Every structure is written in C-alpha cells, then in structure tokens.
Structure 1
C-alpha cells in the first residue's frame, strides 16, 4: 500500500483535512460558548454575582424621608463577596448620596437612573476585586 505514490498522497490529504476539521470544530466550540463582552448576563449570573443592601432609611435634603433597598450587581463572585464585606462602606456612600438629593430629584425615572449611576461609580472607585456592572433600586418610598 505504501508503495504507490498516489495512494500515499491521498492518505496524507485525507488525514490533513480531518485534523484541520477537528481543530476548527474545537476552536468553534470554545469561542462560541464563551460569553461575549456585550452579551447580557443570565438572571442566574446576576443573582449569583450580586448583593442586596438592607433597608436604608435616611433624610433627604428636602426634609423628606427616603426608605429603600438596592441590589448591586458585580462582575464576579469574588467582587460580590467583597461587596458583602464592605456593607458599611456601601451604606455610607448611599446615605451620603441621598443626603444631597431632594424628594423631587427622586420622583422621576431620570432621578433614579442618575442615583443608580452615581452609586455605581462611587462603589467602583473603592472596589479592589472586580467592578460593579449595575445598581438596581429594588424598593423606594419617599415620605
């Protein structure tokens, strides 16, 4: 069988094409299952990588009371664990930000979005492990 030159060339070509196909399939499976940078995380990932504050009650600058909770979504479980350890610092940031706002600032959707974005950037600045993806307002009551 190895004495015919044409048969040897065909075997080499078939084996080469098979190896190229296997490598291409492995690479395709590897890169297609990883999450893309712009892809939205699943709800399980959000829950696993997030931490919820206790209920916070504080005064606003307009002599109103704010009562609410926030869920902070981090990019990794290690970052979510760090959030839990830094709970007092996060509560401090939230209270300081709320103290500068009035009830009118928090009545609109834009006001809540601005507060969430401000909290995200402030908490990100103190994080050692990972980063904050988003802050969700889960409860809000202004009196």
Structure 2
C-alpha cells in the first residue's frame, strides 16, 4: 500500500474515534441535563405553585363541597399565567364537581385533579401545569 493510502486510513480512523467519543460525551451531558430538569427541588415546586382560593359548590345530588387545590407549574411565567386564569380554574372545578354525586366525589377526587390538569394545559400559553394536588376538602 502506498504511503498516501496509509495516511488517509489512519486519519479516517482517528476522526471516527474522536467523533464517537464526542458523541458519547455529548449524549451523556444532554441526558444529565434532562434528568436535572425533571427532578425539581421542593423549593422550586413551592416557588412555581399556585394555591387556588376555596371553591364552594354543589354536587349533582344536592350535597355541598368546599375544595381547594395546589397547582404546580413548570416555571415562574406559568405560575403568573395561572394566577391570571383563576376564573377558568374555578370554572373547570365547578363544572367537574357538578357532574359528581357524594359517592363519586369520595372516590373520584384523583379524576378531578387529572381533568383540571388536562383542561388547564389546553388553555395555557406560557408553560404548563405539571401536577394538581387537593389540599383541602369538606363535604356537607
């Protein structure tokens, strides 16, 4: 083999090895950043959370409920937006509870949280709702 072919092959192998090493390092760094973004500290969760006012409404069977939620957003801008959308939050809560009776309320509170999360994410333009927690409920 000629000297030129040997030099090209060695150069090609070196470029491939360097490229593979760079790709592995790059992918590992990106993967760690993704995990860091997913796992928020409790301080960040509290900072990006919005506490709804207590909502008092009736259920389909005539029972009354007073309920309050903690809505966790993904950013400061999303928290500010959900604060402005308080009327929509109240609307979703009232509509969902109006469909329930006392028994379904006792067993289906997680469904209300899920519906609230989905419906509010549909109207959000700045960020998203990550989770909804029931923090207070009274059934009369």
Report if TM-score (shorter chain) is over 0.5.
yes
**After superposition, where does 1:9-48 map in structure 2 within 5 Å?**
34=33, 36=35, 39-48=38-47
Q: How far off is 1:93 after superposition?
A: 1.1
Is 1:107 matched with 2:94?
Answer: no
More helix by share: 2
For the aligned residue pairs, the C-alpha RMSD in angstroms reads 2.4
Q: How far off is 1:42 after superposition?
A: 1.6
Q: How far off is 1:43 after superposition?
A: 1.2
* Normalised TM-score (structure 1): 0.72
In 2, distance between residues paired with 1:78 and 1:97? Answer: 26
Q: How far off is 1:34 after superposition?
A: 3.7
| Equivalent position of 1:130 in the other structure | 127
SS, match of residue 127 in structure 2: coil
Q: Structure 1: 5+ residue runs without aligned partners?
A: 1-26
The list of structure 1 runs, each at least 4 consecutive aligned residues, that deviate by more than 3 angstroms after superposition, is 30-35, 37-40
